[in-house]
Amino acid sequence: MQANEVAVSPETALDRMVLGRMVLGIGESGRVVSQSGVSEAGASYGAAPGSTAPPSAAPAPCPSPGSADLDQGSPQVTSVPDANPFKSDDSNGFYLSKSRLNRYIACPRSYQLHYDLGIVPLRPDRDLLIGRSTHRLIAAHHLARKKEEFIDAQGVLDSFWSKYMQKEEPPEARQDLEAARTESLRYAQLFLREAPLDPLEIERDFSLPLVDLENGDTLPAPLVGVIDLVDQPNGVLRPLEIKTRARKADAWQVRVALELTCYAWWVRQRIMETGAREPEEIPVGYVNIIKTKTPTIQWQTDHRTIADFLDLYRTARAVYENIMDRRFYLNPGTHCNWCDFPAVCGKDKDAIVRNFGEAACLRLWEADLI
């Protein structure tokens, strides 16, 4: 079937995106190209619950740069990004996730700031928002396709980006967010064209015990997560993680990725619940959206075995015990280049108020971190 082009504006194109057997893609010229075989749309994830409330009144130790109150009229994200959407059996509700494990391994102080004190930037990172918006569009496409429903892609994008496009934002910031919104749509369209999947599960959440397969010991905290997509090539469940990356990932990354081991653990549990034998290996994969001038899709596949699950348990136990003992030491390294907290580690109170707000600055002061 040949592509048929119809000249419409990008806004109109968004309104006309529907699910089913067709995909509407916006080309470089702003024209809409209809192609067969893949569908297109968008919808939202579940919103994360809120996190810690500001502390009680105390002498303000943090300076307020200029006359403006930076806690007033600024878009604020008050929830921890991977706040647990599931109830834990643990009495204090503590749980582990791939995000918590990775953050603690990289820098325990970053874990403390993010999860223990709830310090989050007033303005989320642009690339982070693009990634989340892209995920929502892809997930919505597959969810609607299964239900044979129509999707209002414009409404989906509005729902996501309206939280960040505040009226008080300067025009330059709004233009940047509008460009990021359009960029996420472009990446989602690329994914749906180049990675035509028919997943069994979409955004599959789980909360599972972590067990030492050598001696049967169980970690006191559950492992919680959400798998982007689960397909079944060759009759075997395969968890897939969608990533937006600035450049192609190295081959070793899929082999060592802790998040893929977490997802494979869920697959193993599903298999064992059926009474089947222990699987020799479980396939896993990354589908990377490479955000170069001409974006591309990179597939990376690997597998996980019992040896990987043993390593996962040992790592999770070490992290759990260190968190319970409140070992939140600094671990400087190259990861500091993309960390949210250089102002905190540098004890720059002006920058802390500017980036995180006065309430966050007060919590840091009360924790004796600035």
Residue ranges, the chain, pLDDT below 70: 1-91, 167-168
Q: b vs e for 103-131, b when ≥16 Cβ sit within 10 Å of the residue's Cβ?
A: bbeebbbbbbbbbebbbbebbbeeeebbb
Return the pLDDT at 124: 86
Q: Which pair of structure tokens corresponds to residue 109? A: 């102080």
Return the pLDDT at 86: 52
| Beta strands per DSSP E along 7-135 | 22-26, 32-36, 96-97
The CA distance from 355 to 329, in Å, is: 22
Q: What is the pLDDT of residues 228-277, one digit of tens each?
A: 999 999 889 999 999 999 999 999 999 999 999 999 999 999 999 999 99
Return the pLDDT at 205: 97
Tokens 């993680």 belong to residue: 241
Return the pLDDT at 7: 37
Q: What is the pLDDT of residues 329-342, one digit of tens each?
A: 999 999 999 999 99
In the sheet where 4-6 sits, what is the strand order? Answer: 4-6, 32-36, 22-26
Number of residues written out for the chain:
370
Return the pLDDT at 61: 55
